[in-house]
Structure 1
Amino acid sequence: MRLIPAKWTKTLLKYGPRWLLGVLITAAGVLYTLNLWDSEAVARFDNLLAGERMKLEAPQLDPRIVIVDIDGKALTEFGRFPWSRNVQARLISQLTGHYQVKAVGYDISFPEPDTSSGYGVLEKLSNRELSDVPALRQKLAELKPSLDYDGLFAAALAKQPVILGFNLSPDQVKGELPKPLFSEQDLNGRELTAYNAPGYEANVPVLQRAAAGGGSFSVSTDPDGIVRSAYLIQQVGDKYYPSLSVATAGLYLGALAIKPLLTESVDQLSQNQLDSGGYDALTFLLPDHKQRVIPVGEAMTTVVQFRGTGGPAGGAFRYVSAADVLTGRAPPALLKGTVVLIGTTAPGLVDLRATPVKAEYPGVEIHANIIKSILDNRFKSRPYYAFALEAGQILAIGLVLSFALAALSPLRSILLGVLVLAASFGLNYYEYASLDLIYNLAMQLIVIAAVFVLNVAWGYFFEVRKGQALVSRFGEYVAPELVAEMADDPEKYNMDGESRELTVLFVDVRGFTTISEGLTPKALREYINLYLTAMSEDIRDSHRGTLDKYIGDAVMAFWGAPVAFADHASRAVATSLLMQASAHRLNDDFVARGWPPLKIGIGLNTGLMHVGDMGSKIRRAYTVMGDAVNLGSRLEGITKVYGVGIAVGEATRAAAPEYAYRELDLVRVKGKNEPVAIFEPIVLDKELDPAARSELERWHAALAAVRAQQWDQAMAIIVELQALLPDRSLYSLYTERIAYYRAHPPGVDWDGVTTFETK
C-alpha cells in the first residue's frame, strides 16, 4: 500500500532539495534574529541600512531651533578661539536682551578661569613690586569690574535662560557640576541603569552657579566610531545629570521637573510611547500638568534622528554666525522666542562627529536633533517585541520564497523576488517614518537574496541545462509556454516515434500561382510572410498547436503532441475558425494595398497517427504520418469543391461536439475505399443564432432528401435557401448535382457517396 501518492513523491524528488536548503537558510536567519548566533558583518549591514533609511527623510527647517555658530567669519571678526569671556558675556546679553531668545544651550565648557584681561598680573604688581604706588591700587579697584571677565560673564548669565555644557571625563575632576536632576536616594531603592562617569570637566563655579543649569554634551560613540545614540541622563557618583539637549529642552518648555518614569508606572502612556517597553522612560513635568515622555533605551540613551546631512546647507536647523549676533546684524525675527545652541563648525576647533548620515557632522547639531524630537514628542525607538516580529517576518518570507521560487519560471521568480524585496523595504520604511519604530532589515534582505540566488543557481545548473536541449528540439515547433511546461519535466518528452490519436491541420492559399504571377518578388515575399506569420501565430500561440512545416504556401500543424491534450480536436477546430478570421483581416489589408485577395482552405482530421523525429541522416523533423494525416490533406483540397473554408472529418466532429457543423457530403477520397462523412464547422453551438440554426436544420433536411433520391423535396428546400443566401457555393453545387441525378438516376443501390479520383 502506497503511503504517499506518486504525484507527491515526484514533486518531492523534484523540489525537495531546494526546499530543504531554503528552509535551512530561513532557519539561520531566524536564529540570528533571536540572538542565538552573532555576525559582525550583518550588524554592519544593519547600521548601513539604518543610515540610508535615515537619509530618505527630507529635512524640514525647524524655526524653533537656531544654532549660533562660532564659524570662520566670527573668528575673523573677533579673534581666535577661545574668546575672552567678556565677548561671551556680550553674546549672551545680545541673545537674551536684544534678541529675546527663550533658551540658550552652550555646547562649550569653561573649566578654567579667564585671565586674559591681565587684571591678575596688575594686582600682583600692586601688592608686591608697586605696593608703594597708592594710585595704582585705586585705579585697579575702579577697573576691576570691567577686567573681571568671569564676573562679567557670570553677571550676563545671572537670571537668564542659559544652560552651560560640561564634559564627562574618565581621568579628571575639574570645575563644579550643576545641580543634579535627582540622586540614588530619590529613587527609593529602584535601580536605574545609566552611564556612570568616573570624572568630569565642568565649568568654573562662578559661571555654573550663575547659569540656569547645566548639561553634559558627551555623546555615545559605537565601537566603529560612529554616533548613533546619545545619553539623556548620565551618572556621576550617586547623582544623575541631564544631557545638554534634555536640560535645554526642559528650560524651553518650562519643565517643573525632569525625572525617570519606570516601566511599571506607565499606565497613563499612549501605546506609541509604550512601544519602548522593557526600558525606563524620561518624563518632563510641564506647567500645564501634562507630561512629555521620552522613551529611552539601554543606559538611558535615545536613538538620534539625524535630519539631513548637517551644517548650514544640509540640515533642518538655521545657522546664524556669532559675529552677526554680536554686531546685531542678524534679523531679530530669526531668533526671538527660539532655542539657541551655541557651538562651532569652524575648521580646527574639532567639534565634528562621524554619524550615519555624514562622516563629519557638527556636534552641536546632534543636540539640536534631540531637542527637536523632544519638542515634537516624536522619537524613533526599537520596541521590546522587535526581535519576535523580525523573526516572524523572516520565517514567513523565507518559507514562501523557498517553496514558490522552486516552482516558478525564471521571469516570475525575478518578479516575485523584486516584489518581496520592495515590500520589505516599503514596510520597514513605513514603520520607521510613520510609526517611529525601528526594525532591523539586514537579515531579512540577506535571506531574500540567499533564497533567490539559491533557486536561480539551482535552476541554471540543474534545470536550465536539461531544458536547453528540450528547447532546441521543440522550440521551433510549439508555443513558448508549452516549452516551459515541458522543461518542468524534460524526462517526460522525447522525439522517439510513437502512435497517438492526434488532430492534424492543413491550410493552403487558393490560387497562389495566379497571386505569385501578379506580384513583384519583393511584394510576394511580404505577402507570403504576412500570411504565414498570422497562420503560425494562430496555430502555435493561440491554441498551443505544434507547427510542423511550411510546404510552399501551405502550412501543416497538429495537436496532441509533444504535449498531450485530451481536447486536441477542439483546439484544432477553434484554431481553424481563428485562421479564417485572420485571413479575412489580412485580405482587407491586402486589397487596400492593391494586392490580390487572400482566400484559404483548411482541412482537419482526427485519428491514430505516427508522431516523432523522422527523416534522413541529413535532415530530420518532428512530424506526423499515417492514413489519418493523408485524409486531412485530402480534406483541405476538397474545400475548393464545396466552396467552404474548412472541412473536417467525422472523427474530428465527434471529438469536438461543442461546435455546430454543416454536413457537406459522404466522400471516398483517392487512396481510401471507406467513405467518410465531411463537415464544415461553423461556430460554438451555444453561440449559433436562431436564424442560422434554422438554416442548418433545413439544409440537413435537404441533404437527407438527396440521399433518399427525393429530388423535388430536396430542390424545393435548396431553392428556398438559395433565395436567402445566393452566394453560398454549396447550394449551387447541389442544385447542379440534383439536376444531373434527375437526368441520370443513380439507381436503387446508390449509397450517396461522392468519389474523388484525384488528390
Structure 2
Amino acid sequence: MGTLARHWPRIAITLAPLVFALLHAVGALPIGFLNRLDAILYDARLRASMPRSMDPRVVIVDIDEKSLAEVGRWPWGRNKLAAMLDELFERQQVALVGFDVVFAEPDESSGLQRLRELAQADLRDAAGFRERVAQLQSSLDYDASFARALQKRPAVLGYYLTSERDARKSGLLPAPVMTRDSLKGRPIAFYSFQGYGSNIPQLAQAAPVAGYFNSITDGDGVVRSIPLLAEYGGAYYESLALAMFRVLAGHPAVEPGFPREHFVGRSYPGLDSVLLKLGSRQAAIPVDDKVAVLVPFRGPGGPMGGSFRYVSASDLIAKRLPAGALKDKIVLVGTTAPGLLDLRVTPVGATYPGVEVHANAVSGLLEGRLLVKPDYAMGYEVVVLMVAGLALAFLLPMLSATVAVLVSSAVMTGLLALNYFLFNTFGLVLPLASALVMAGAAFALNMSYGYFVESRSKRELANLFGTYVPPELVDEMVKDPDSYSMKASNKELTVMFCDMRGFTSMSERMEPTQLQELLNAVFSQLTEIIRANRGTIDKYMGDCVMAFWGAPVETPMHAQLAVKTALQITQAVRAINQEHRAKGIPDIGVGIGLNTGTMCVGDMGSDVRRSYTVIGDAVNLGSRLEGLCKVYGVDIVASESTRQQAREFSWLDLDRVRVKGKQEAVAIFHPLGPSGALDPQAADELRAWGAFLQAYRAQDWEKSELQLVNLQRLGAKKYLYELYAQRVASMRLLPFDPGWDGATQFETK
C-alpha cells in the first residue's frame, strides 16, 4: 500500500486512457479514429490469414473486354445469353448459375416490337406480312428465348435494392424468405431499403429464385461485408450468395437465430445467426448486429488473382471450351470490364471485381468459413480493456523504463496474439484498436510523467554518471539508470588500441603548438568515428587511443562495431594523408589491435581521480596485437575471437602467434572489408594465400614457395609475402618438426 500511495499520481494519469477507451467501447463517447483504426487492423488480419488458394468449385463467367470486343457492347441480345446458358447446362453440365447482373428492361434489340407495330399500322394491308411476323416471333422474342433457357434449371437471378428517396420500383421481386412475424416482436436492425430494381416479370417468373447483389460500403469507401438478409416493405429478402447456397442445399427454410438472452439481453437489436432448416437438419450462419457477414476474401481479385477460375463469356458463346470442362461447377456471371462499372475497393484490392465479392461469399458459405463480429463483441472489448488497463496502471509506475517498455510491449503483443488467434481459429472479428491505443497511451503518459516530473532526480543521476562515464553515453544511460552500475564486473567486450605512426618524427621538426594542433585534429576525426559506432573512449595515451565496445551500454554486436570502426579509421587516415601531401606535411600511419574477450570493467582509480575503464588479460592481448601491425605490414590485427563474432567481414589469416605473457598460440587476422565486397582478383589472391598457409603449416616448403610464386603472378607485392618468403627460406634448412604448430613466438610487448 505504501508503494501505491507513493505512485498514485502516475497511477491516476495512466488510468485516463482506460476511461476514454471504456466510454468508446460502450458507445457513450464514440471516437472516429478508433473505428478507422479497427478497420485498418481488420484489413491487415484478413490479408495475413487469406488462404491464397483457388476454390475449384466456383467459376466466374466474365463479361470481359475480350467478350465486348467479340460479341458487342453490353447489353447483349438475350438470345446470346440464352445460348450461353444452354452451353453451360447442356454441354458443360454445371451445377448452378447465378447472375451478378439485372435484366430490368425488355430486350428489343431483335426489332420484333417494330415489326409488330408495322403489322398493326403501315403494313397491315400487306399480304402475308402479319403471318410472317407471327412466324418469326418465336425466334425474335429474345426475352422468351432467355426465359425458356432459365426454366426448370438451377439458376439464380440478381437484382438490387436501393435506399434513395423516392426510389423507383421496377421489375418483379422474388418471394421474401422471411416475414416480420418470425421476429417475435424483436427490434432487429436489418439494413432497410425503400426501392428496388429487379428483373422483368417474364424472366423473374421463369427463374423464381433471385438474390440482391448489394454490398456494404464502409465510411472509408471500402467494401468489407454484405447483408445476408435485408428488409423491404416489411418482408426480408436474401442476398445473391445466400440464394445460391440455398439452391445447392435443397431450398431450406430461413429462420432468425436469436442470441442467448443471458449474454446480451432481449433488447439486443441484432440476430446471432440466420438458421437454415430442411427437415430435421439445421445449419446456423453467424451474422453481426446488422444481419451481415464479412466477406471471407481468399486472395487478390481478378482473373490473375488465383482465387477463382475466370472463363470469358465469349469463349462459352463460341463453344471454345471442351465439353464437360465445367462439370458440376457453381457459376457466377459478372464482369471485370472497367466500362461496366462493377469494380469495388476492398481490403485486398483497390479495383476488385464485384462478382468476385459474391464468389468469395459463396465459397465461404460452402466451407462454413465466414467472418463475423459476434453479439458479445462489446463485452469482450470491455473485459480486455479492464484487464489490460488496470494491469498497466498499477504496474508501470513501479517499473524501470526498460522493464516498462517490455511489459507494455508484452501486453500489446498479447492483445494482438489473442485477437489474431480468435480471428484465425474461430473467424471472430473482435475490437482491437481501443485496447492497443489505450495501452500505448498509458505507457506514453506514464513515461512522460516520469520524464517531466521526475526529471530533477534523473539530472542529478546524470551528473553523477558523467563524472565517470564518457559523455556521449550519459543520455542513453539516464533513460534507465537502474540498469547501470559503476561496480566492477566481468563482461565480454571488444577492446581497440589505435596507435598513430609518424608523430614522433614530426615532433622533431614541428613546433609544439603545430604538433598539438595536428594531433588534436586527427584525434577529433577518430573520436567522431568511435562515437558514431557506439564505442567508449577509455583514454588517450600520447599518440594512442584506447576504446572498447559493449559497456556501459549493452551492445550485442560489439565485435562487428569495433571492426567497422577500425576500417573507417584507416579510410580516414588515408584521406588525412591526402590533405597533408597538399600542405607538404609528411604522411602518418596507423596500427590497430582488436581483441574480444572477458574483461573487468568498472569505475577504477584513486580517491583523487577515477575513470571507467577495462583491465585484464584480454585487454593486454589487444595491446600486443597492435604492436604486431608493423611486423606483418598491415594496419589492423585482430584476434580469432573478434573474427568469430564479426563474420560479415572478409578476413586475411595472418599467422598464429605466442605473444609475451601468453603460452597458448593465438590466431591473428586482418579484416579486408565487408563480405561480398571483394573484387574477383582479390578473392583469387585470398584463396591462393589460404593454400599457401596450409602448405606452410604442414612444413611443405616446396609447395609453399610455389604458392608464393602464384601470389606474385597475381600482381601481389605485399610486405606480408616477403616476410613469409624469408621464413620459408630459413625454415627449409631445418629438419621436419612433428611438434611444430605453425605459431611464431614474440618476446617483446
**Structure 1 residue 152 corresponds to structure 2 residue 145:** yes
Q: Match of 2:661? A: 597
> Which protein is bigger by CA-based radius of gyration?
1
Letter in 2 for 1:168: L
CA distance in structure 1 between the aligned counterparts of 2:21 and 2:261, rounded to whole angstroms = 36
Match of 1:198 among 194, 212, 216: 194
Letter in 2 for 1:597: G
* Alpha-carbon shift at residue 526 of structure 1 (Å): 11
Letter in 2 for 1:469: N
Letter in 2 for 1:45: L
Give the direction of change, closer, same or farther, for the CA distance of 1:118–1:489 in structure 2 (3 Å limit): closer
Q: Match of 2:291? A: 300
CA distance in structure 1 between the aligned counterparts of 2:5 and 2:381, rounded to whole angstroms = 29
Q: Match of 2:177? A: 181
CA distance in structure 2 between the aligned counterparts of 1:429 and 1:132, rounded to whole angstroms = 78
**Structure 1 residue 350 corresponds to structure 2 residue 341:** yes
1:51-62 to 2 correspondences below 5 Å: 51-58=43-50, 59-62=52-55
* Alpha-carbon shift at residue 141 of structure 1 (Å): 1.8
**Structure 1 residue 401 corresponds to structure 2 residue 395:** no
1:93-132 to 2 correspondences below 5 Å: 93-132=86-125
CA contact (8 A) 1:101 1:340 kept: yes
Q: Match of 2:209? A: 213
Q: Match of 1:468? A: 462
Give the direction of change, closer, same or farther, for the CA distance of 1:261–1:79 in structure 2 (3 Å limit): same
1:471-550 to 2 correspondences below 5 Å: 471-475=465-469, 487=481, 537-538=599-600, 540=602, 546-549=603-606
- Deviation digits for residues 278-334 of structure 1, max 9, x if unmatched? 6242122347x4322111223422222233232222362222111122122235565
CA distance in structure 2 between the aligned counterparts of 1:154 and 1:408, rounded to whole angstroms = 75
1:264-343 to 2 correspondences below 5 Å: 279-286=271-278, 289-314=280-305, 316-331=307-322, 335-343=326-334
**Structure 1 residue 91 corresponds to structure 2 residue 155:** no
Letter in 1 for 2:53: Q
- Deviation digits for residues 321-373 of structure 1, max 9, x if unmatched? 11122122235565211211111110111112233333332211221122122
Give the direction of change, closer, same or farther, for the CA distance of 1:254–1:527 in structure 2 (3 Å limit): closer
1:691-710 to 2 correspondences below 5 Å: none
CA contact (8 A) 2:60 2:308 kept: yes
CA distance in structure 1 between the aligned counterparts of 2:36 and 2:437, rounded to whole angstroms = 13
Give the direction of change, closer, same or farther, for the CA distance of 1:264–1:465 in structure 2 (3 Å limit): closer
Give the direction of change, closer, same or farther, for the CA distance of 1:333–1:22 in structure 2 (3 Å limit): farther
CA contact (8 A) 1:285 1:292 kept: yes
Residue 237 of structure 2: SS of its match in structure 1? strand
TM-score, structure 2 as length reference: 0.62
* Alpha-carbon shift at residue 550 of structure 1 (Å): 12
Q: Match of 2:443? A: 452
CA contact (8 A) 1:536 1:547 kept: no
Of 184-193 and 210-219, deviating more is 184-193
Q: Match of 1:747? A: none
Q: Match of 1:73? A: 66
Of 49-58 and 329-338, deviating more is 329-338
Q: Match of 2:42? A: 50
* Alpha-carbon shift at residue 432 of structure 1 (Å): 0.7
CA distance in structure 1 between the aligned counterparts of 2:200 and 2:92, rounded to whole angstroms = 27
Give the direction of change, closer, same or farther, for the CA distance of 1:108–1:474 in structure 2 (3 Å limit): same
* Alpha-carbon shift at residue 150 of structure 1 (Å): 0.5
Q: Match of 2:229? A: 233
Give the direction of change, closer, same or farther, for the CA distance of 1:134–1:425 in structure 2 (3 Å limit): same
Give the direction of change, closer, same or farther, for the CA distance of 1:366–1:476 in structure 2 (3 Å limit): closer
Give the direction of change, closer, same or farther, for the CA distance of 1:598–1:242 in structure 2 (3 Å limit): closer
In angstroms, what is the RMSD of aligned CA positions?
A: 4.5
Q: Match of 2:132? A: 139
**Structure 1 residue 258 corresponds to structure 2 residue 254:** yes
CA contact (8 A) 2:287 2:374 kept: no
Of 527-536 and 104-113, deviating more is 527-536
1:547-558 to 2 correspondences below 5 Å: 547-549=604-606
* Alpha-carbon shift at residue 547 of structure 1 (Å): 1.2
Letter in 2 for 1:234: A
* Alpha-carbon shift at residue 392 of structure 1 (Å): 2.4
CA distance in structure 2 between the aligned counterparts of 1:383 and 1:335, rounded to whole angstroms = 37
CA contact (8 A) 2:177 2:237 kept: yes
Letter in 1 for 2:417: G
CA contact (8 A) 1:111 1:174 kept: yes
CA distance in structure 2 between the aligned counterparts of 1:265 and 1:335, rounded to whole angstroms = 47
CA distance in structure 1 between the aligned counterparts of 2:477 and 2:126, rounded to whole angstroms = 113
Letter in 1 for 2:122: E
Q: Match of 1:18? A: 10
Q: Match of 2:570? A: none
CA contact (8 A) 1:63 1:334 kept: no
CA distance in structure 1 between the aligned counterparts of 2:308 and 2:467, rounded to whole angstroms = 68
Gaps of 5+ in 2: 489-540, 549-591, 626-638, 641-655, 664-749
CA contact (8 A) 2:23 2:30 kept: no
* Alpha-carbon shift at residue 411 of structure 1 (Å): 3.9
- Deviation digits for residues 676-717 of structure 1, max 9, x if unmatched? xxxxxxxxxxxxxxxxxxxxxxxxxxxxxxxxxxxxxxxxxx
Identical positions, percent? 34
Give the direction of change, closer, same or farther, for the CA distance of 1:470–1:88 in structure 2 (3 Å limit): same
Q: Match of 2:364? A: 373
CA contact (8 A) 2:189 2:269 kept: no
Residue 333 of structure 2: SS of its match in structure 1? strand
* Alpha-carbon shift at residue 219 of structure 1 (Å): 2.2
* Alpha-carbon shift at residue 414 of structure 1 (Å): 3.6
TM-score, structure 1 as length reference: 0.61
Letter in 1 for 2:258: L
What is the number of equivalent residue pairs in this alignment?
A: 530
CA contact (8 A) 2:419 2:430 kept: yes
Letter in 2 for 1:56: A
Residue 56 of structure 1: SS of its match in structure 2? helix
CA distance in structure 2 between the aligned counterparts of 1:527 and 1:53, rounded to whole angstroms = 51
CA contact (8 A) 2:62 2:312 kept: yes
CA distance in structure 2 between the aligned counterparts of 1:115 and 1:427, rounded to whole angstroms = 59
Gaps of 5+ in 1: 495-501, 504-521, 541-545, 559-574, 600-759
